Amino acid sequence: MMEIKIERTATPKAKPEGALGFGKYFTDHMLIMEYTEGKGWHDARVIPYAPIALDPSAMVFHYGQEIFEGMKAYRTEDGRTLLFRPYENARRMNNSCDRLCMPKMDEDLWVECIKAAVAADIDWVPEEAGASLYIRPFMIATDPALGVRASNHYYFMVIMSPSGNYYPTGIDPVKIYIETEYVRAVKGGTGFTKCGGNYAASIKSQVKAHEAGYTQVLWLDGVHREYIEEVGTMNVFFKIDGEIVTPALEGSVLPGITRKSSIELLRKAGYNVTERRLSVHELEDAAHNGKLEEIFGTGTAAVISPVGELKINDEVITVNNGEIGPVSKWLYDTLTGIQWGRIADENDWTVEVKA
Ligand SMILES: *Cc1c(COP(=O)(O)O)cnc(C)c1O
């Protein structure tokens, strides 16, 4: 395994006081590793958090060869620091690399990089209930050259941000509407990757949603504009007449680790979970027949985000009286219980980081 050098800051920052929010504060250190064609990944180091200098012609600025991941470190009541399924993030980033012609990384090295970064700033992992250290690994193309092609040099970096409880005043179901004008992804495109361009293209719909008084949009497939894909930057689940349905992974949906974990936990608990296509019409029918029992989004940031209101065309549908449903509640308690070490980790999903 490559040695990861550690250069500690001489001027540690004061820890933020008051509400942490999300993605506002950054820790004292960051990890950086370089890739050079013919040499591979090299020079992994944890260094003081600081701006980086890039040539204005660096390819990432022009052609968007950029991918990222999102994960958290959790502080348990007995003082341990846990990561949740980090090898899943490593694998997903390698799948993003493959699609964007960026250099893959050994999964063990990837997880070692995350651990080294978190270990350097372990005193930044918040202890308040529900707070965590958000971890943002990312990779950028840095060749100083124009012309569309794969870069020959890259940076892999890890930055970290202490973040507050996503639900400071308790879980509040969100209002969403179905986006029929813009699409997020199409089969054959980059929808299954966490590449920056996907998110740049989604901002317009987010602005529209906020202007209309909604929190998020429900994305439809780009071809038929008929089948449900995701909600905002979360995967989505529906409970219809006892069956739990989530869109199948056919290339345009992001394969969420919270999605995967939810499916595994639900199946283990005896629920009937189906990964399949679900049309807006089926959803409308279910709502009209009183069979739409719950809707919830899944993702690292919120873990489980219940949907209380859904707008389809001109009709507003209230889901489970606008309250969190029993399946959403059970999943939220179970997942957060495992992540914060409150309940037994029977699946060996957590990985401890030691300073
Ligand atoms: C990150 C992300 C998700 C959720 O993935 P998790 O691994 O569960 O955090 C879902 N959809 C999109 C578009 C995402 O970017």
Confidence of residue 168 (pLDDT cuts 50, 70, 90): confident
Q: How far is the CA of 293 from the centre of ligand 1 (A)?
A: 23
Residue 347 token pair = 């699946």
How far apart (Å, rounded) are the C-alpha atoms in residues 25 and 275? 38
- Is the model's pLDDT at 125 over the cut of 90? yes
Comparing CA positions, the residue from 88, 299, 60, 92 lying closest to residue 194 is: 92
Residue 21 token pair = 């929010």
pTM exceeds 0.95 for this model = yes
Residues with a CB atom less than 6 Å from ligand 1? 70, 194, 230, 233-235, 254, 256-259, 298-300
Give the phi and the psi of residue 189 in degrees, each rounded to 5: -90, -140
Q: Which residues of 184-197 are buried (b: 16+ CB within 10 A; e: fewer)?
A: bbeeebbbbbbbbb
Q: What is the β-pairing status of strands 315-318 and 303-312?
A: antiparallel
- Is the model's pLDDT at 169 over the cut of 90? no
Ligand 1 atom with minimal separation from the 258 CA: 8
Q: What is the β-pairing status of strands 243-247 and 235-240?
A: antiparallel
Give the residue, by CA position, lying nearest to ligand 1 atom 6.
256
Q: What digits encode the pLDDT tens for the residues 205-226?
A: 999 999 999 999 999 999 999 9
Q: How far is the CA of 38 from the centre of ligand 1 (A)?
A: 33
Given this model, what pLDDT does residue 1 score?
A: 78
Q: What digits encode the pLDDT tens for the residues 17-66?
A: 889 999 999 999 999 999 999 999 999 999 999 999 999 999 999 999 99
Percentage with pLDDT > 90 across the chain:
95
56 alpha-carbon distance from chain centroid: 29
232 in Cβ contact with 216 (< 8 Å): yes
Q: What digits encode the pLDDT tens for the residues 70-99?
A: 999 999 999 999 999 999 999 999 999 999
Q: Does residue 50 sit in helix, strand or coil?
A: coil
Q: What digits encode the pLDDT tens for the residues 137-164?
A: 999 999 999 999 999 999 999 999 999 9
Q: What digits encode the pLDDT tens for the residues 296-325?
A: 999 999 999 999 999 988 899 999 999 999
Give the residue, by CA position, lying nearest to ligand 1 atom 15.
233
Tell me what the pLDDT averaged over the chain comes to.
96
- Is the model's pLDDT at 292 over the cut of 90? yes
269 in Cβ contact with 256 (< 8 Å): no
Given this model, what pLDDT does residue 322 score?
A: 95
Q: Does residue 321 sit in helix, strand or coil?
A: helix
194 in Cβ contact with 96 (< 8 Å): yes
How far apart (Å, rounded) are the C-alpha atoms in residues 157 and 29? 11
Choosing from 91, 135, 179, 234 the residue with most ligand 1 atoms within 8 A of its CB, the one to mutate for a pocket test is 234
How far apart (Å, rounded) are the C-alpha atoms in residues 342 and 338? 6
Is the CA virtual torsion 59, 110, 298, 235 positive or negative? positive
Query: How much is the average pLDDT of 240-248?
Result: 98
Query: How much is the average pLDDT of 334-343?
Result: 97
Q: How far is the CA of 10 from the centre of ligand 1 (A)?
A: 36
Choosing from 83, 89, 260, 300 the residue with most ligand 1 atoms within 8 A of its CB, the one to mutate for a pocket test is 300
Given this model, what pLDDT does residue 36 score?
A: 98
Comparing CA positions, the residue from 85, 80, 103 lying closest to residue 93 is: 103
| Alpha helices by DSSP H, 148-279 | 196-200, 203-211, 257-268
